[in-house]
Amino acid sequence: MNNDNRRYTFLFIVGTICVIYIVRLFALQVATSEWKNKGSRLTEREVVVYPSRGNIFDRNGKVLVTNQTVYDLMVLPKEVLPFDTLEFCKLVNLPYEELKEILKKSTTYPNVKYKPSPVIKQMLPEEYALFAERLYKFPGFFVQARTLRTYPESLGALLLGDVGEVNKEILEKHPDYRKGDYIGLNGIEKSYEKELRGKRGIKYVYRDNLGVEHSVANGQLDSAAQEGVDLYATIDAELQKYGEQLMQNKRGCIVAIEPSTGEILALVSAPTFDPNLLVGRARGQNFSALARDPLKPLFNRATQAQYRPGSIFKLAQSLTALQLGSITKDTRIACNRGLIGCHGAHSMDDLEMAIVHSCNPYFRGVLQRVVEANRDPNNRAKDAAIGLSIWNEQIRKLGFGSNLGSDLPGMKKGNVPSAEYYNKKYGVEAWNFSTIYSIAIGEGEMLINPVQMCNLVCIIANRGFYVPPHTVRQIGRGGSARSEYVTRVDVGVKPEYFETVVNAMEKVVGPGGTANSIKLSDIVICGKTGTVQNEPREDHSVFVCFAPKENPKIALAVYVEYAGFGGTWAAPISSLMIEKYLKGGTTNKGREELIMNAKILN
Amino acid sequence: MAASGKQNLQLDWGTIALYGTLVLFGWLSIYSAAFNPLLPSPFTFSEEYGKQLVWIGACVFLIVVILYLDAEVFNKLAVYIYFFFVLLLMLVLVIGKEVNGAKAWFGIGDFGIQPSEFSKIGVGLFLSKFISSSGMQLKNLRTRIQAFAIIGLPAFLILLQPDVGSLLTFLAFILVMYREGMSGNVLIAGFASVVIGTLSIVIGAGRTTYPYFGELSSIWTFIISLFGLSILALIFVRNFVVPRSRRMLYSVVVISMVLASSLAFSINYIVDNVLEKHHKERIYVMLSLPVERQDATYNSEMAKITVGSGGFIGRGFHQGPMTQNNYVPEQWTDFIFSAVAEEWGFLGSVTVILMFFTLIYRLVLLAERQRSQFSRVYGYCVAAIIFMHLLINIGMVLGLAPIIGIPLPFFSYGGSSLMAFTILLFIMIRLDAERLSVFR
């Protein structure tokens, strides 16, 4: 039998296989880009170009927050060759066990061996310098430069805020953030996150056979990083620093605002800490130490504390009662100490002198005239409820019970008791004026925070309006503040009613006044002391003021916790702050030294 | 006669040119895949591309020697050459160097020699001589058994190494025997076995809960189906086939059923219980069955990605990101085709496949024009061996065959492979050059 035809069978088999393979090649290479894309994901790296965060300057152009370069040491496991682990550990100061753990983690899910994972985050330039020249010995390891915040003035920790890497929660809420991004966590860093953040850039690169990185598609897919916008804060660094010095070894806060603009000049919360502590690798450790501190340095007393206002609230009561027509500036009320305690020698003051003497029975009487105005003659309880609602509405116009629209994150609103509030507390019609009169003198259920307190002074200094207190006056060099911080908010109190209050405040800082000791020869300070009862502990010492009397430049609220009478600590601190701001410093070095050295921490 | 023959040497320059092109293209691919940026010179003899140049040089020398030899030598020495390599295969089991779990190498300094690659030359020559010797008829069972013994001895020695890849390439000789008269049923049976084997592995990988027996390997479903099919076939035979053929077809059906079932069962058993875990995983990866270790899919996955990365026109020489970054381990050896596919694209890959097809076609043509049966059989041996390597190697790169480490002829890095294929091919060219002086 001739088998010659079998050559065709043989060639047919070979040909069939070749056709099958060509079809398969077509399927892999041409028909779909699935495999090609998989390849791109392997070989092309997306390099994130982190923008540098915007700088923050003070109102005079001094740098408050800027960036420093740090280096994340990364590992790309697929390129790692056997290396001298001992030398490596020594160079980067890492225990061998930890390195082993990190390397293991870098190749276990969700990390994969062809994606870089961090080995050491945030090496400082000096640490990196030691390692840089040996880096070539460790293939697969490389560094990625990043920026960290740094605070050259070491001040305003809570005011400026800190940044941290985004966590899972933030990532879920904000899809435009990615693992490894930084975000402002509080203070200005938080409220101006959008401006400061800038825009992350992405560079697509692939490595050629020489290990050199090339851009993909001539960089057409790349997006440039956009640097964050610089902010010009309203803060006066000198004043802020001075305030922090005055408040050292004390608990409390200072709020200083320029009345005409609502710009916050200083916002001190004591005790404070160096903001540089919350930067870099020591951040976690330092943070938990601060969180454990019984003096609560992480608690921003200027924005988050809610104090009973005490006597300074009498200023607000006066304005409210005048506007509601319940009293005139000439109304005299007997100092009946049987109803409520008082101090000093006076008996039948008019409004101005009642403020100067801080006469408690007088202001009890004022609130009674507001609340018990016989609007419901048959029912004292109903009458009080109606009266309190009227009072509540008017006093809220002064900014109480709201965050004032401020850009300070986490501002507490305080508590302005309303009829509903007491109904809930005591029951409907189960209370009347006698139940609630302690709010007349800023005690009882009345709660405000120090920024609101200072804002009240601004209203008085401006004779009738305020601008929401804010911390940034220019977004970008030559820019302006956010639009809500350029408009005045009218409080609905006639300008003439302020004169009585202002005059009284001037007299407080004068002969016979409770803060006579801080009177300055060249600047007229208008102020009001307060002493917030704090049974069984020592009273809080409070002082609010503005200066000068005409065309005021600065309004202040000072709170010193557990420090006793307002005139003793809070008032001198205020006057030193005023001198610092208006004259660049005080001549009363003795007072300055005394305050700075005082330790009120019991 | 030798002298006159030499004067009339009619070298088939087309085949030689094809050989040269393949070797050159192969070397370029190795140069690209194994490139060390610190040592870019092609003459860097510490790197694969430098070493391969040495091997190519050695091949030129071998070619000259082969062309100067008398063509009669190969016929006369066929048996000695065969046993020489059988001896080497035995020796390598004793003094060989173990690489990747197989005792397949003689280590000579930096270089290694793999006798299994050369043994195919011996088998080819001896088989040709045996079949062409007068009176041999492959229809004859005795002759078939003897022929299988010639193939089987070195194959068995290679199995002992063990080197499954090289072993599989010995299947090439079955194609040769088919051309020389062995029944075509062998090919049909072989094809059927591959289909049944694949199905039994795919189906056997699952587990099924059977009534009364509980959960067992799904292979039983397959065997029950085979059983059902044969009953259908029996019914078909009974109703539609003329009575005189029925008896014969009944036995064909029953025997096929028994053979198929036992094949399915034994392959399933071998995969599950005899093969080493990594072999089983490679088979599973090829068949897209789930494997426990992600690593097992790595090579196959990377090879496919590298091929896909080439696209239609390829990334260009030295420009393939997957190749240049060594994503495919030891790409310059068995996976060299993936480098071709990435850097030269669909066009380049098809060109290479067509070049191989042309070479095989050319060899068939050469074989068929021989006057001597020895030369013809030998020509088919060369063509079939190259084809088997092509089939397994490119199939593996394209994910159509399991990962079996055998080289792509003329392309893959490695002295043994390159020299063995060169000798194999040029003996044929030498035989062909003198075809006109040979008398039947």
Q: Dump pLDDT digits (tens) for A269-319.
A: 989 999 999 888 888 899 999 999 998 999 999 999 998 888 899 999 999
**Average of pLDDT values for A589-600?**
90
| A420 plus A504 within the same structural domain | yes
Nearest CA distance, A215 vs chain B (angstrom)? 13
* Residue at A28 is within a domain: no
Contact at CB, A28 and B387, closer than 8 angstroms: no
- Tell me which chain A residues have a C-beta less than 8 angstroms from the C-beta of B360: 11, 14
Measure Cα distances from B233 to A478, B221, B249, B264 in Å.
93, 18, 9, 19
* Residue at A414 is within a domain: yes
Contact at CB, A42 and B361, closer than 8 angstroms: no
Contact at CB, A30 and B311, closer than 8 angstroms: yes
| A248 plus A220 within the same structural domain | no
Q: Residue A168's pLDDT is what?
A: 85
- The pLDDT-based confidence of A328 (bands split at 50, 70, 90) is very high
- Tell me which chain B residues have a C-beta less than 8 angstroms from the C-beta of A1: 181
Considering only the beta carbons, identify the residue of A29, A30, A43 that sits closest to B325.
A43
| A387 plus A500 within the same structural domain | yes
Nearest CA distance, B360 vs chain A (angstrom)? 8
**Average of pLDDT values for A230-236?**
94
Q: Residue B417's pLDDT is what?
A: 94
Residues constituting chain B:
440
Q: Which residue has the higher pLDDT, A586 or A41?
A: A586
Average per-residue pLDDT for chain B: 87
| A196 plus A267 within the same structural domain | no
Average per-residue pLDDT for chain A: 88
Contact at CB, B308 and A6, closer than 8 angstroms: no
- Tell me which chain A residues have a C-beta less than 8 angstroms from the C-beta of B354: 18
| A548 plus A587 within the same structural domain | yes
Nearest residue to A214 (alpha-carbon basis) of A42, A39, A44: A44
The interface residues of chain A toward chain B in range 444-473, judged by CB-CB distance below 8 A, are none
| A173 plus A278 within the same structural domain | no
Contact at CB, A35 and B305, closer than 8 angstroms: yes
Nearest CA distance, A76 vs chain B (angstrom)? 13
- Tell me which chain A residues have a C-beta less than 8 angstroms from the C-beta of B398: 21, 24-25, 28
* Residue at A8 is within a domain: no
DSSP type of residue B334:
T
What per-residue string of b and e applies to B205-218 under the rule 16 or more CB within 10 Å gives b? Answer: beeeeeeeeeeebb
Residue ranges in chain B modelled with pLDDT below 50: 1-5, 440
* Residue at A577 is within a domain: yes
Considering only the beta carbons, identify the residue of A14, A17, A39 that sits closest to B321.
A39
| A181 plus A250 within the same structural domain | no
Q: Residue A112's pLDDT is what?
A: 60
The first and second tokens of residue B36, run together, are 């060390």
CATH number at residue A307: 3.40.710.10
Q: Give long-range contacts, CB 8 A cutoff, 24+ apart: A293-301.
A: A295/A251, A295/A271, A295/A601, A297/A157, A297/A271, A297/A272, A297/A273, A298/A158, A299/A269, A300/A158, A300/A159, A300/A186, A300/A269, A300/A410, A301/A251, A301/A252, A301/A253, A301/A269, A301/A270, A301/A450, A301/A559, A301/A561
In total, the C-beta contacts within 8 angstroms joining chain A to chain B are 124
Number of domains chain A is built from: 3
Domain end marker among A101, A119, A147: A147
Nearest CA distance, B335 vs chain A (angstrom)? 15
Nearest residue to A116 (alpha-carbon basis) of A105, A130, A106, A126: A106
State the residue for tokens 């061998």.
A96
Nearest 5°: the CA angle A426, A428, A431 is 55
Contact at CB, B307 and A210, closer than 8 angstroms: no
* Residue at A265 is within a domain: yes
| A275 plus A161 within the same structural domain | no
Contact at CB, B349 and A30, closer than 8 angstroms: no
* Residue at A104 is within a domain: yes
Contact at CB, B321 and A206, closer than 8 angstroms: yes
Domain end marker among A117, A147, A177: A147
**Average of pLDDT values for A7-28?**
93
Q: Residue A209's pLDDT is what?
A: 46
* Residue at A14 is within a domain: no
| Pure H helices in A358-467 | 360-371, 380-396, 419-426, 433-436, 450-462
- Tell me which chain A residues have a C-beta less than 8 angstroms from the C-beta of B308: 28-29, 32-36, 38-39
Q: Of A234-243, A570-579, B216-225, B280-289, which gets the smallest average pLDDT? A: B280-289
Q: Does pLDDT of A478 surpass 70?
A: yes
Is the CB of A597 inside 8 Å of chain B's CB atoms?
Answer: no
User: Which distant-in-sequence residues (6+ apart) come within 8 Å of B416 by Cβ?
Assistant: B112, B113, B114, B115, B117, B118
The percent of residues above 70 in pLDDT, for chain A, comes to 95
- Tell me which chain B residues have a C-beta less than 8 angstroms from the C-beta of A24: 398-400
Q: Residue B109's pLDDT is what?
A: 67
For A560, how many CA atoms within 13 A lie in the half-sphere containing its CB? 29
- For residue A33, the chain B residue with the least C-alpha distance is B308
- Given a contact cutoff of 8 angstroms between Cβ atoms, the answer to whether A356 and A500 are in contact is no
The interface residues of chain A toward chain B in range 37-56, judged by CB-CB distance below 8 A, are 38-40, 42-44
Q: Of A165-179, A392-406, B56-70, which gets the smallest average pLDDT? A: A165-179
Task: Pick the residue of B47, B136, B297, B322 with the most A CBs within 10 A to test the interface with A by mutation.
Answer: B322
Considering only the beta carbons, identify the residue of B327, B383, B398 that sits closest to A42.
B327
Residue-wise pLDDT tens digits, B65-93:
999 998 889 999 999 999 999 999 999 99
CATH number at residue A178: 3.90.1310.10
- For residue B314, the chain A residue with the least C-alpha distance is A29
Nearest CA distance, A220 vs chain B (angstrom)? 19
| A205 plus A330 within the same structural domain | no
Is the CB of A495 inside 8 Å of chain B's CB atoms?
Answer: no
Write out the residue range of the structural domain in which residue A183 sits: 39-62+153-233
Instruction: Please report which helix (H) or strand (E) contains residue B283, including its range.
Output: helix B277-286
Domain end marker among A147, A165, A182: A147
What per-residue string of b and e applies to A136-154 under the rule 16 or more CB within 10 Å gives b? Answer: eebebbbbbebbbbbbebb
Q: Residue A25's pLDDT is what?
A: 94
Q: Which residue has the higher pLDDT, A15 or B193?
A: A15
Is the CB of A23 inside 8 Å of chain B's CB atoms?
Answer: no
| A286 plus A142 within the same structural domain | no
| A416 plus A454 within the same structural domain | yes
Is the CB of A18 inside 8 Å of chain B's CB atoms?
Answer: yes
Contact at CB, A208 and B368, closer than 8 angstroms: no
Considering only the beta carbons, identify the residue of A1, A17, A44 that sits closest to B391.
A17
* Residue at A11 is within a domain: no
Nearest CA distance, A203 vs chain B (angstrom)? 17
| A373 plus A448 within the same structural domain | yes
Q: State how far the Cα of A103 lies from the Cα of A114, in Å rounded to an integer.
A: 13
Contact at CB, B312 and A28, closer than 8 angstroms: no
Q: Residue A262's pLDDT is what?
A: 94
| Start-to-end CA span in chain B (Å) | 15
Nearest CA distance, A106 vs chain B (angstrom)? 16
3-class secondary structure, A83: coil
Q: Residue B4's pLDDT is what?
A: 43
**Average of pLDDT values for A482-502?**
91
3-class secondary structure, B219: helix
- Tell me which chain B residues have a C-beta less than 8 angstroms from the C-beta of A34: 308
Widest CA span in chain B: 81
Nearest residue to A223 (alpha-carbon basis) of A61, A49, A344: A49
ipTM: 0.90
